[in-house]
């Protein structure tokens, strides 16, 4: 039984997460004996990064209430099952699975071994590369769950704010699979990428004002999804471009008291006091086996593809976080943690 492993860890945050990480070659490894019902032990092959991976640890005292240290960051993964709980009947030793943890834990995906609930994993389909599977995790499921199937269907008009990031690149493709007409936003250098993913219209925010462009179109959209959080008044002015009763979905929020207050305020502040006049929904992504499986099938069938910004080696994790923090990534950042 393996008792130690290699992993990136932090004990305390000194400024930024990437400046606080240390690579240990002999840190304590999780084991089969520590598993609880429904959990599996995974040897990590690949991981992908999300802003939440550094935002939660950097919350100071609050982060200590969420994660015990020393801790290894990383929610998204693809890896090999090396241990299961006694009553497990979902996966067997040797299976390669992918998924995303619903919340940060002590043993994240930037370590050699990690623990995950079996319900937050799916079996890797033949033909799907582990690096691509790891990239699905949080961003893929966020995009999938933001597209309400009761709304998005053939002929629906969907506005996606932020089409070139991890969630946006998935969102454009998934909306098109469902039959929607998609309008998205990005900078000049990513316009052609968004079009190649299926976007019918692309608003270049470096050349025009997003709110003015949307107002010109009138109340035509059945759904709006905000992956960015800017422009600041996008929700408050959504009545100018969303159909009456159409929903506004926010999938990104500033991890701070002010960010939380703003998001919660949007649910309760009436129009007469400066609020919006369309239904507001803040999406909290839930990792689900059935969603992961569906996304994996679309990828294998060639209906969608993973957009990867850059693949980093395990020893370059701090550089990977530096790249992520720029906010200019196109698609996902992947880290190769172990052997395929």
Spatial separation of the C-alpha atoms in residues 36 and 91, rounded to whole Å:
15
pLDDT, position 150: 86
Q: With left for phi above 0 and alpha for psi between -120 and 50, is residue 323 left, alpha or beta? A: alpha
pLDDT, position 253: 57
User: Cβ contacts of residue 112 below 8 Å, gap of 6+?
Assistant: 5, 6, 7, 29, 43, 44, 337, 338
Residues of the chain with pLDDT under 70: 1, 252-275
DSSP 260-328: HHHHHHHHH--GGGT--SS-EEE------HHHHHHHHHHHHTTS----EEEEEEGGGHHHHHHHHHTS-
Do 161 and 228 meet the contact criterion of CB atoms below 8 Å apart? yes
Do 197 and 166 meet the contact criterion of CB atoms below 8 Å apart? no
How are strands ordered across the β-sheet holding 181-186? Answer: 201-204, 181-186, 157-161, 221-226, 242-250, 280-282
Place of tokens 């919006």: 276
User: Cβ contacts of residue 310 below 8 Å, gap of 6+?
Assistant: 320, 323, 329, 333, 334
Place of tokens 């969603």: 291
pLDDT, position 63: 83
Q: Which among 103, 39, 47 is positioned nearest to 77, based on CA atoms?
A: 47
Half-sphere exposure of 259 (CA within 13 A, CB side): 13
Q: To 5 degrees, how large is the angle CA 150–CA 154–CA 160? A: 75
Q: With left for phi above 0 and alpha for psi between -120 and 50, is residue 303 left, alpha or beta? A: alpha
Q: Which among 258, 217, 259, 207 is positioned nearest to 237, based on CA atoms?
A: 217
pLDDT, position 267: 58
Which string of b and e fits 158-172 if b means at least 16 CB within 10 Å?
A: bbbbbbbbbbbbbbb
Spatial separation of the C-alpha atoms in residues 37 and 247, rounded to whole Å:
38
pLDDT, position 61: 79
pLDDT, position 261: 61
User: Cβ contacts of residue 81 below 8 Å, gap of 6+?
Assistant: 40, 41, 42, 91, 92, 93, 94, 95, 96, 97
């Amino acid at each position: 039984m393996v008792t130690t492993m290699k992993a990136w860890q932090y004990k305390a945050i000194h400024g930024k997460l990437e400046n606080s990480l240390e690579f240990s070659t002999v840190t304590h490894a999780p084991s089969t004996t520590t598993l609880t019902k429904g959990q599996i032990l995974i040897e990590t092959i690949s991981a992908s990064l999300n802003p939440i991976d550094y935002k939660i640890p950097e919350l100071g005292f609050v982060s200590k209430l969420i994660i015990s240290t020393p801790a290894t960051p990383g929610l998204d993964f693809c890896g090999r099952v090396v241990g299961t709980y006694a009553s497990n009947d979902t996966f067997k030793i040797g299976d390669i699975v992918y998924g995303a943890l619903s919340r940060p834990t002590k043993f994240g995906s930037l370590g050699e071994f990690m623990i995950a609930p079996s319900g937050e994993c799916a079996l890797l389909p033949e033909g799907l590369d582990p690096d691509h599977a790891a990239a699905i995790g949080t961003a893929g499921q966020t995009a999938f769950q933001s597209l309400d199937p009761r709304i998005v269907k053939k002929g629906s008009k969907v506005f996606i704010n932020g089409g070139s990031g991890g969630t946006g690149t998935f969102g454009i493709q998934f909306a098109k699979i469902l039959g929607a007409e998609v309008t998205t936003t990005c900078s000049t250098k990513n316009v052609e990428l968004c079009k190649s993913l299926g976007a019918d219209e692309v608003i270049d925010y470096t050349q025009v004002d997003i709110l003015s462009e949307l107002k010109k179109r009138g109340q035509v959209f059945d759904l709006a999804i905000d992956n960015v959080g800017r422009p600041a008044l996008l929700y408050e002015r959504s009545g100018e471009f969303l159909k009456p009763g159409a929903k506004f979905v926010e999938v990104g929020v500033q991890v701070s008291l002010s960010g939380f207050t703003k998001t919660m305020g949007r649910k309760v502040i009436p129009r007469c006091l400066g609020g919006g006049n369309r239904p507001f929904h803040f999406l909290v992504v839930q990792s689900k086996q059935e969603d992961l499986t569906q996304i994996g099938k679309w990828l294998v069938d060639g209906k969608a593809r993973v957009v990867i910004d850059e693949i980093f080696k395990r020893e370059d994790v701090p550089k990977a976080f530096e790249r992520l923090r720029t906010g200019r990534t196109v698609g996902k950042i992947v880290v190769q943690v172990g052997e395929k």
